[in-house]
């Protein structure tokens, strides 16, 4: 019996040893897989960020989002380029051009444009056309190679260095247009008139100069001209400084020029509204849970005099938030053309040490509840006359129209003030 018992103990001992061995081997296999899965972990991180933040979670069921994750992670993904391509393929079914992977160069350039004062490239700000899904020029930066070459808002980018923009997608098209100063890029463009042309552009450093001002004077009035080209982090402070400077020059009214302003930091656009609105609704955002959050301006304003705002088809995103808040609150009339119609808000997230991912996290409504996505904002006064090649110069007929309109407001205010003074005198007597 002792022999049988010993044999049983020996058998159990070997079973335990074998189980420990198998578990250890399994553990080593897992560790080895994990060690080889750093690239796939980056893909999974991107999926998780989108899964937790994307503004339309109903889309996930429609496209079988979890299945896409599984299929993507089954691919061979080892190099950085394979990571970025896999994430692009994964995001494509969302059908949202604004939710996109940002390769290191693009991520750095986007941060530079949001926080810096210059950028290297050709000076094009791009978007996706809502109708045909083509890459479309939202605006050209002032003084850029693209502007010098005559590329304008509404043109389509067909190819970059011989590669179709449809094949590249929005993010990669923008990426290929950027690069070191002095290098060249060949761009095929379809103009708004339907003409197809190839343009050889030389990249250079483009001064963003987000805030520009000057004083306009005639025989009876002094008017301030204030142009915002983009909403970067520094803009709210620069606007405060510009308005202070214009007040010192005793301007009576302001022309705010938001033409070709394709947006930037939404927080910056909302902060600028504080300079003109006192305790008024600026925008209403709606998150993925349908929760609406109304944002109000602060009590103090930097300028409360008459103003008119110029917009065009390249006025987009954060600049539409500002324009919509001024219009809906009756603070400023809008003049120009229908705006671009981007009613979605993106959040920028780090992905790894050098890359990033932009995710559409919310939609927004103007203070009166208007959803402008794909529709834009209709100005109070439409202008059919051609725009100047250089905004704000002496030949800019849009500014001249705004100046005439603003002068009429100032004269109405003077008449109203005179009538009130006479009424007070009559009451006093």
**Residues acting as catalytic residues:** 317, 328, 342
List the alpha helices (DSSP H) in 178-234: none
User: Which of 101, 2, 131, 81 shows the shortest CA–CA distance to 356?
Assistant: 101
What CA–CA distance (Å, rounded) separates 311 from 298?
24
- What count of residues does the chain have? 429
Q: Which residues of 347-356 are buried (b: 16+ CB within 10 A; e: fewer)?
A: bebebbeebb
Strand ranges, E, within 7-50: none
CB neighbour list of residue 92: distance below 8 Å, 6 or more residues apart: 169
Beta strands in 337-401 (DSSP E): 344-351, 355-365, 381-382
Rounded to a whole number of angstroms, the CA Rg of the chain reads 28
Question: Torsion angle of alpha carbons 115, 121, 124, 127, nearest 10°?
Answer: -70
**Residue 94 and residue 101 in contact, taking contact as beta carbons nearer than 8 Å:** no
Contact call for residues 318 and 268 (beta carbons, < 8 A): yes
Helix residue spans in 150-274 (DSSP H): 165-177, 235-248, 266-273
**51 CB neighbour count, 10 Å cutoff:** 14
Return the ∠ at Cα 313 (arms to 139 and 194), rounded to 5°.
75
Question: Residue 50: CB partners within 8 Å, gap ≥ 6?
Answer: 91, 94, 99, 357, 359
- Determine the 3-state secondary structure of 176 from DSSP: helix
The Cα 241–Cα 245 span in angstroms is 6
Return the structure tokens found at 20. 């420990």
| Bridge partner list, 359 | 347
Are 371 and 362 contacting, i.e. CB atoms less than 8 angstroms apart? Answer: no
Paired sense of beta strands 333-336 and 281-286, if any: unpaired
């Amino acid at each position: 019996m002792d022999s049988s018992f010993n044999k049983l103990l020996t058998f159990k001992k070997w079973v335990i040893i074998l189980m420990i061995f198998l578990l250890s081997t399994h553990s080593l296999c897992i560790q080895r897989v994990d060690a080889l899965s750093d690239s796939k972990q980056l893909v999974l991180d991107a999926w998780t960020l989108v899964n937790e933040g994307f503004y339309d979670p109903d889309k996930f069921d429609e496209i079988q989002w979890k299945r896409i994750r599984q299929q993507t992670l089954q691919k061979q993904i080892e190099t950085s380029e394979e990571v970025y391509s896999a994430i692009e393929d994964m995001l494509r079914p969302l059908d949202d051009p604004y939710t996109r992977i940002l390769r290191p160069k693009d991520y750095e350039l986007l941060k530079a444009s949001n926080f810096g004062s210059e950028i290297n490239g050709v000076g094009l700000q791009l978007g996706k056309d809502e109708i045909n899904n083509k890459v479309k020029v939202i605006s050209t930066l002032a003084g850029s190679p693209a502007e010098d070459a005559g590329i304008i808002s509404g043109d389509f980018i067909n190819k970059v260095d011989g590669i179709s923009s449809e094949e590249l997608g929005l993010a990669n098209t923008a990426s290929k247009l950027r690069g070191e100063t002095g290098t060249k890029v060949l761009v095929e463009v379809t103009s708004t008139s339907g003409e197809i042309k190839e343009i050889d552009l030389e990249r250079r450093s483009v001064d963003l100069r987000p805030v520009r001002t000057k004083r306009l004077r005639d025989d009876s009035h002094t008017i301030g001209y204030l142009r915002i080209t983009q909403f970067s982090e520094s803009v709210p402070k620069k606007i405060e400084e510009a308005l202070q400077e214009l007040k010192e020059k005793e301007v009576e009214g302001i022309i705010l020029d938001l033409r070709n302003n394709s947006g930037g930091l939404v927080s910056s656009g909302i902060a600028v509204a504080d300079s003109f609105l006192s305790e008024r609704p600026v925008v209403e955002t709606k998150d993925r849970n349908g929760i609406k959050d109304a944002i109000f301006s602060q009590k103090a304003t930097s300028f409360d005099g008459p103003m008119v705002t110029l917009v065009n088809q390249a006025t987009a995103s954060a600049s539409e938030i500002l324009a919509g808040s001024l219009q809906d609150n009756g603070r400023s009339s809008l003049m120009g053309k229908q705006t671009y119609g981007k009613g979605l808000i993106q959040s920028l997230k780090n992905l790894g040490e050098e890359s990033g991912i932009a995710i559409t996290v919310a939609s927004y409504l103007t203070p009166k509840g208007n959803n402008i996505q794909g529709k834009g904002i209709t100005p109070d006064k439409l202008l059919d006359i051609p725009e100047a090649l250089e905004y704000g110069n002496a030949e800019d007929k849009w500014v001249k129209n705004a100046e005439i309109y603003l002068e009429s407001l100032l004269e109405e205010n003077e008449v109203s003030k005179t009538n009130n003074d006479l009424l007070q005198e009559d009451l006093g007597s």
